[in-house]
Chains A and B, each alone.
Chain A
Amino acid sequence: MFTETKVSGQVENLYGIMAEFNDPESLLDAANLARLEGYREMDAYAPMPVEGLAEAIGFRSNWVERLVFVGGVCGATGGFMLCWWITVVAYPHNVAGRPLNSWPAYVPITFEVMVLIACITAVVGMLLLNGLPQPYHPVFNVERFARASRDRFFLCIEASDPKFEPAATRQFLARLNPQEVMDVAL
């Protein structure tokens, strides 16, 4: 069924053009179609993670897991070296001739520091890669966008896309059977 789509007020300085959908499946279809149409610079917004949506807008990244791996290795090395350095170099104790480098006793601290650093890296890395904290973003200029954190799903094709052309993009989005198509002011 095709319904008449509202196209709301057009603006001068465009960040992009946004279409609103009612459910995740429509958003996923729209994102796939936009990619097939040749659009590359776009983002999809949903109130919860939607499986396959990131792939549909052509997003691939494995930086979080790489960073966490590096964080974990650094943490483990640091934790072990801390124990080793304290017991062997800084504060050696001869306990009945037992070896100073008593590595089995270092395992708990090594493990805990590894987990600690890896977890901090996961959270801080995720936030920084996402560009957060970010005090301003154009998508919030759209009033209806507040529902992206509630029950609506949005696809935004950005003006930086080489194929972006306001009238044509607006028309293309309107053909995807959205609730509404909106211009996003910069």
Chain B
Amino acid sequence: MRVKPEDREFTSVATLDPGPDKVIGPGHDYGSVTDEIGGVVFRPFLKTPRQMFIGFAFAFLLVNLLMIAVTWLFVRGVGVWGIDMPVAWGFAIVNFVWWIGIGHAGTLISAILLLLKQDWRTSINRFSEAMTLFAVACAGMFPILHLGRPWLAYWLLPYPNTMWMWPQPRSPLIWDVFAVSTYATVSLLFWFTGLIPDFATMRDKAGNPTARKIFGTLAMGWRNSAKHWARYQKAYLLLAGLSTPLVVSVHSVVSFDFAVAIVPGWHTTIFPPYFVAGAIYSGFAMVLTLAIPVRRWYHLEDLITMRHIECMSKVMLGTGLIVAYGYAMEAFMAWYSGGQFERYAFVNRMWAGGYWWTYWVLILCNILIPQALWSRRVRMSIPAVFVIALVVNVGMWLERFVIVVTSLTRDYVPSSWGMYYPTIWDWSTYLGTIGVFLALMFLFIRVLPAISIFEMREVVHHTGKEPTHVHGD
């Protein structure tokens, strides 16, 4: 049974998962959701779940690995990576696309599902918006590190300069600069705007004067006035409406980096939709990877319920099928077009090239294993969903590897074919960004409300029409 909401912040009593039909556990009222979510932040430092400390320590170790890898990169240049001609785009671009893709689920959950009025979006949207933000931060690092002279990254921006040079606005690489920086800014705005009313809640709830000052500053004097809410809701809805085409455009533009080039295996019109679907696929896998442990550590099973997990599994299954269709069409068009080079690119990808096995592992991870999600028993099993989500994360990373690396190893001129072998610095940089991502997620969950409190009150208002206990004082 549930304990009194006031006690929750200090207890770790198992909470009740209401099962796959409900988005919120029984017995919640406005106060209890506020306390449960706020309690995570106001827990005394030493009462933080042990797993959070271990997780953060592990992530922080990886952050240090990144520091070392990047320092070495700055000292010696991109030659420390395994990249060379013909494979000049190695891990850096694979990781860039992977991270950006992961971010997309956050925007999908916060914007598109808001417009579609999906009630299960509410307790995971804040969390996945933060995921978007941190994933984009990791993604943004890679093209800059890959520049060779990263300290000149600002040359990518159109600004008046003494060289009288301008970036080329017809190039997908410059579209990328605009798309990714817009995406990062809008994701930040969306996330911060969502947090303002919750900052006000935290301000009013904080016992510690320093916390009250910090949250008070961030809340900027928000006072829950109906006039504020009216403008707020309009602004929020407009942000959602603008983010929806934005998220589609960002991964389309990322896919143009490949599709506009003439490399066989890249030059494909199916890339934009198939990249967008793949992005959402990997992003939902990452939300599940993060949400499953966190809901357990902080006993949030009554707010992130089986319904959330099942819905996310279904989205994963659906987008996974779109991705499978993309693979099939790529292969079909390679054969049907009759293009010699395109056809060879596929023979190379599937069995003739040195990376043939990555293609089959990718098919296994992205297409075959996730089919288990058709079974309701699998969707209802937390360990199974968690493992499948991890498998999809790996599979989507391999997809980008296959696209970027395999296509480059053998293009038109056999005399300039060559293999790419990642070095320890490639791996360190990649693992390092995973560390940055996880460390930021751990910090976020610890210091900010990881579930949107005011939106959960709306859920209480809409679902809890039956009288819950109104505790007078």
Residues in A lying within 8 Å of B, measured CB to CB: 22-24, 31, 43-50, 53-54, 56-57, 59, 61-65, 68, 72, 79, 82-83, 86-87, 90-91, 93, 102, 105-106, 108-109, 111-113, 115-116, 118-120, 122-123, 125-127, 129-137, 139-140, 146-151
Contact = CB atoms under 8 A, between A and B. Distances in A.
Contact of A61 (B223, B225, B230, B249): B230
B245 A115 contact: yes
A126 B224 contact: no
B27 interface: no
B454 to A, nearest CB: 5
A47 B201 contact: yes
Nearest to A98: B170
Contact of B461 (A48, A115, A127): A48
Contacts of A133: 220-221
B239 A132 contact: no
A149 B200 contact: yes
B470 interface: yes
B72 interface: no
Nearest to A45: B224
A116 B221 contact: no
19 contacts: A43-B225, A43-B226, A54-B226, A63-B231, A64-B231, A68-B238, A86-B169, A109-B174, A115-B243, A115-B249, A119-B185, A119-B186, A119-B190, A126-B193, A132-B222, A135-B221, A136-B221, A146-B205, A151-B31
Given A111-B249, A116-B185, A148 B224 contact: yes
Contacts of B227: 43, 54, 57, 59, 61, 130
B29 interface: yes
Given A44-B225, A122-B239, 15 more contacts: A49-B458, A50-B461, A57-B226, A63-B231, A87-B170, A91-B164, A108-B179, A109-B169, A109-B178, A112-B178, A115-B245, A115-B246, A119-B189, A132-B221, A150-B34
A125 B31 CA distance: 31
Given A91-B166, A108-B179, A149-B224, A64 B30 contact: no
Contacts of B174: 109
A146 B229 contact: no
Contacts of B333: none
B50 interface: no
B182 interface: yes
A90 B172 CA distance: 20
A148 B186 CA distance: 29
B205 A150 contact: yes
A86 B172 CA distance: 16
B136 to A, nearest CB: 14
The 3 A-B pairs with the shortest beta carbon distances in the complex, nearest first, are A134-B221, A133-B220, A151-B30
Contacts of B470: 22-23
Contacts of B222: 132
- Prevailing SS type, chain B contact patch: helix
A150 B193 contact: no
A126 B164 CA distance: 39
B79 interface: no
A31 B227 CA distance: 13
Nearest to B220: A133
B197 A61 contact: no
B168 to A, nearest CB: 8
A112 B31 contact: no
B178 A113 contact: yes
B225 A126 contact: no
B424 interface: no
A46 B229 contact: yes
A87 B168 CA distance: 7
Given A122-B238, A149-B200, A54 B170 contact: no
Given A150-B31, A150-B204, A86 B167 contact: yes
A140 B223 contact: yes
B85 interface: no
A42 to B, nearest CB: 9
Contacts of A137: 221, 223
